[in-house]
Chain A
Amino acid sequence: MEDLTSPKQDKKNQELGEARRPWEEIAASSQDPKSGLSEPLEPEQWLETGPQPRSGPPQSPQSRASPPLDDVTGPGAPSPPSPAPEASFIPSTLALARQQLAAPWQSDRTTDVNPKAETPHSHRLEQSSDQGKSTAPQTCQSEGDIFQQSQQTERHLYGPEDVSNNNSKQKELRFNIFQEEDSNSNYELDHTESGVSEGAPSPLEIAIQSAKAYLLKTSSKSGLNLYDHLSDMLTKVLDERPENAVDIIESISQDVKMAHFRKKLDTLQNENEMLPIYETAEKQKALFLQGNLEGVDQELEDEIAENSLPNVMESAFYFEQAGVGLGTDETYRIFLALKQLTDTHPIQRCRFWGKILGLEMNYIVAEVEFREGEDEEDVEDEDVTEERDDGDSDAEENDEDELPRTFYKTPQVIPKEENRTGANKYVYFVCNEPGGTWVKLPPVTPAQIVTARKIKKFFTGRLETPIVSYPPFPGNESNYLRAQIARISAGTHVSPLGFYQFGEEEGEEEEEVEGRRDSFEENPDFEGIQVIDLVESLSNWVHHVQHILPQGRCNWFNPIQKSEEEEEEEDEEKEEEKEEPEYMEQEVGPPLLTPISEDLEIQNMPPWTTRLSSTLIPQYAIAILRSNLWPGAYAFSNGKKFENFYIGWGHKYSPDNYTPPALPPVYQEYPSGAEITEMDDPSVEEEQAFRAAREAAALPVEEMGETEEDEDEDDDSDQE
């Protein structure tokens, strides 16, 4: 029964027990045992009245009772001595508390004593309040010091840190006091009451009261007060009994403050919160350990000889001057991941292309050139030819079934470019984070590029995600990613003028641009360009990636030619031939190595922004180029070296809003002829007019029919 109120009281009494000790020290040190004995009661009263306003109604009734004081510590006395020698004082405190609780009237008694004795003290305190709060703690402390010397223990007045260390000693002290109280209970009361009748509070009591008032002072900032905080903290320590509480007492204090802000709902703790962190760390550890292979010496030489790995850290340093970059250790991890890539695949050249951000995960992209003859062939070419064949065979079948033949011919599928040429010049590998597996992206087809130009979608980070869009994108996210990478490379990969030069002339230039130069090589005689020149004039930079034509390829593919060849093979397609235009204009784009000053402006905005990396120290500054067309594409050069980089969402910039393309008009599929005519259904008015006309016509003559439907209907009616 009493247990209902016991938790509160438990804490309260523990608080009493805890807080009583420091006060007891003061008490015992400064005054003779007798008067000192009244002191323990006083702090007890204060502490009780302290928590009382907070604890509310449950406590108040108890304080109103007035039990005899004799038995205050009567039941308490026998038990304390027995567990006194024990180091742990939980049982003893609890025992004490339980004894106090066992007879609520006991605590009532103690509380009752308090109010009586309190008044003179408060009176005294008021008198001594003039002393100032600063003196009160000091006196208390000095008293504490005295007591410390006597007890040969170090105690700090406001230091609950000493709680655990001095538990046993303080407990003993309290038991001693209790025993004394027990023996002199009556005498104490008399003394207390006589003390009351004395009138003038001692300076010590005033000091204590002012100290307590100071502790109770509410913080203007947070609404807490130190008194409550200390008692909460001590309660928590007593509840939880941590190891070496004195060492972690500051954290405990913080936890208590934080507990105000946390709802006490979840007692379940997530055990596996740290697991994902450890897993990723393990994966990345593998990155770092890959270098430890057997036969290190030999392999080291090999590696240094065939260095296909770029110096990512060096480029990262330069890009950092531009304010672009992924942070040093992230870049280093990417560096290691690239090394892993070059070790596992036969790669001629490799470059860190950039990072594309996605919704759930990001892509780290590496641009790779395989060694000669080491490519893996793709099976996708065959699908393209199959599609065309299907279309033709359907047409043949239609003839047999005597269904009207459609005009519609599947538009010529433009074949994708061969590997190593045009848009498929490089192979791209992506991974979601350094340490993850590298996935090769499939080569890009012109259809994908053309469609990618018409849609704008965020990447999710998972390569198999379907792209739901209009016009429907032929492929999933890996294809879309590859298409965007191709577009970005074609649009923003630039190098200083003269860095690359065309290869040896391959015969004469043909008039048709099919024999365009699309190969280049590094210019060994490149002397570098002044950084200032690079910044001031855009003509010092050139594109070194082929421009992608509207068709979706870099090299023009003439679909007419091919279709003519097909028609020679099949004789039944004569009709269609007339419908198609015989001549398709060849799409031309700027040739390779055109300076970027020729780039089109975007609505009066220059397509590139150039900056010097630092205006404060221009001698060592580098030139930085920022694309306005593809936000996130950067290039730097220090005159001799250059590098391109992309970091962004993977979309082109357009000042106008994106508008999805409109649906095309309904296609007229079948020829109008005698057998079938496409006509609109008559509208309601037309039908009514027709009916009225028919009735009018039917009245005079039966066989007058104006329209076909009339005849039909008449025929029908005749047949009926």
Chain B
Amino acid sequence: MDAESLLLSLELASGSGQGLSPDRRASLLTSLTLVKRDYRYDRVLFWGRILGLVADYYIAQGLSEDQLAPRKTLYSLNCMEWSLLPPATEEMVVQTSVLKGRFMGDPSHEYEHTELQKMSEGEKVFEEEVVVQIKEETRLVSVIDQIDKAVAVIPRGALFKTPFGPIHVNRTFEGLSLSEAKKLSSYFHFKEPVELKNKTLLEKADLDPSLDFMDPLEHDIPKGSWSIQMERGNALVVLRSLLWPGLTFFHAPRTKNYGYIYVGTGEKNIDLPFML
């Protein structure tokens, strides 16, 4: 959610129950403005909170002028001092995919994971158990990246693509209409499109290249991994991800207010197919 409309966004996202306490809210308002100035971001988003056993991580993201460029992620333990996280790499994701369980809350905590590695000494090839140490920071980075790639949502029309290339915030976006807001096809993944090029020409003919340049949520696998609900008597549409429980996207139709926040344990819900 945009740091500028933080209070309103938190109020709108409160339907999921998890939000921020007043002192965190106040600290965020101050510190995010400073972050924007110091790092010279075009927009700062408050991404959410990852609940750890000892402490919670508060995550923020900074965007540059081009909205789809890779975002810079920052984390903080007290909503005041922010540290930049390194960008996620494939390697990190693979490495941390073996880790299970909750986050500790201590960024320097190291997970120990034993794995069998083939070591060859001379002519012998044998497997040896190697204890690999993985830092919690790495895990944090890869989890945030996975969540972003999987479930970060933006409504259709909020961003538009110019023929020059960069993606801009659409200042004339007045919100989705009620009927559009109830359809999953009006929401896109907030990342570089992956499925788009696989569409048939016939489908592409109906798309508007300046608006439909991201993947819609409609074809997500597994089907039904999004729960779409109207709250507050149809004045608010809330999307909740079932794959990463804790991610809430809200949008007030016919207004410019939208945003998403993740408050959860940072674990993927792999049991989803059993649960639907």
Contacts and interface: CB of A to CB of B under 8 A. Distances in A.
Nearest to A257: B172
B101 A613 contact: no
A585 B82 CA distance: 56
Interface stretch (A117-125, A140-148, A353-361): A353-361
B275 A456 contact: yes
Contact of A360 (B157, B229, B274): B229
B21 A613 contact: yes
A701 interface: no
Interface string B215-231: 00000000010010111
Interface residues of B, number: 56
A281 B178 contact: no
A277 B237 CA distance: 12
B177 interface: yes
A657 B100 CA distance: 10
Contacts of A655: 100-102
Interface in B124-178: 157, 160, 162-164, 168, 170-174, 177-178
Interface in A259-287: 260-261, 263, 270, 273-274, 276-277, 279-281, 283-284
B89 interface: no
B194 interface: no
Contact of B20 (A258, A323, A605): A323
Given A258-B172, A280-B234, A327 B15 contact: yes
Contacts of B179: 270, 273
Interface in A604-619: 605-606, 609, 613-617
A606 B233 contact: no
B18 A330 contact: no
Contacts of B54: 609
Contacts of A254: 172, 174
Given A280-B233, A355-B17, A603-B101, 6 more contacts: A322-B21, A326-B14, A357-B17, A605-B53, A606-B53, A616-B23
Given A277-B233, A657-B271, A330 B276 contact: no
B17 A647 contact: yes
Contacts of B21: 320-323, 613-614
5 contacts: A270-B178, A273-B178, A276-B230, A325-B14, A325-B19
Contacts of A656: 100
Interface string A655-684: 111101000000000000000000000000
A324 B19 contact: yes
6 closest Cβ contacts across the A-B interface? A280-B233, A647-B17, A327-B14, A658-B271, A273-B178, A258-B172
B74 interface: no
A357 B16 contact: yes
B23 A658 contact: no
Contact of A277 (B11, B100, B172, B235): B235
Interface of B: 11, 14-24, 49, 51, 53-54, 78, 100-102, 157, 160, 162-164, 168, 170-174, 177-179, 208, 210-211, 224, 227, 229-235, 240, 242, 245, 264-265, 270-271, 274-276
B100 A360 contact: no
Nearest to B211: A261
A606 B14 CA distance: 27
Contacts of B240: 357
B181 to A, nearest CB: 10
A222 interface: yes
Interface string A582-605: 000000000000000000000101
Interface in A322-363: 322-328, 330, 355, 357-362
A223 interface: yes
Interface string A215-245: 0000011110000000000000000000000
Nearest to B162: A223
A628 interface: yes
A223 B163 contact: yes
Most buried by A among B21, B231, B245: B21
Contacts of B264: 631
Given A258-B172, A320-B22, A615-B78, A276 B14 contact: no
A468 to B, nearest CB: 10
Contacts of A263: 208
A631 B246 CA distance: 10
A648 interface: yes
A618 to B, nearest CB: 11
Contact of A458 (B102, B174, B178, B275): B275
A261 B160 contact: yes
B104 to A, nearest CB: 9
Contact of A284 (B178, B233, B245, B271): B233
Most buried by B among A261, A284, A355: A261
A632 interface: yes
Contacts of B24: 323
B177 A647 contact: no
A327 B208 contact: no
Interface string A431-462: 00100000000000000000000011110000
A321 B22 contact: yes
